[in-house]
Amino acid sequence: MKRLVYADTSATSNMTIEEFITRVKEIYAKYFPDSECVAKNLKTLGMEYIRIGWFLSADASECPHNIRTNDLLHVDFTIDLEDNTESGKLYEMWTYDNSHKNTGYMPSTIVLEVNDKIMFCKADRRNMAYSYINFPFRKTTGTPEKILATLDKYANVVYNIVSTCLADGKIPDDRVDFVRSKV
């Protein structure tokens, strides 16, 4: 299935999508070297975007019941790349074609949206299994370099909050050793 799309004529950045994704993973590894940052360029139903997920676990085997969504940390970002196309040309976009991902350049202005920004901790009430802490993130617009600097700032915030929760005894008892090995 094809659909025709008019491309945006705005200038693009000198940074490729692959370089951007590599730098995102390096930023997270600076704060959490034994954890995983999943960053991917995806093309779905004619839209192109980058999805970034931060986890404390290195893979699903470190999560309770081997389920990735049971990780204590849930941070998820999206960067829309719809205007990352050939400048000003009408082109064909295959709906499920992922063969050319990571080959294009980042748009000159991008928007970093925060989809999920919590960490589970000990319950603050007796009838609850867990409580959670929200991270103070918000939607940010700027150049790819500014977004990378923002992600670095956010990773530092996450590291500080996780470290504080560990020091204050807010980590669930069955996960304390795991979190201590990651921080």
**Which pLDDT value is given to residue 52?**
93
pLDDT of residue 179: 83
CB atoms within 10 A of CB 180: 10
Average pLDDT over residues 47-71: 85
Amino acid letter for position 146: K
The C-alpha atoms of residue 102 and residue 165 are separated, in whole angstroms, by 37
Domain count, the chain: 1
Domain span holding position 137: 2-182
Name the pLDDT band for 150 (thresholds 50, 70, 90). very high
Q: What is the Cα gyration radius of the chain?
A: 19
Which pLDDT tens digit goes with each residue over 87-121? 433 344 444 445 555 567 888 888 999 988 888 88
Around Cβ 161, how many Cβ atoms within 10 Å? 18
More confident residue, 83 or 12: 12
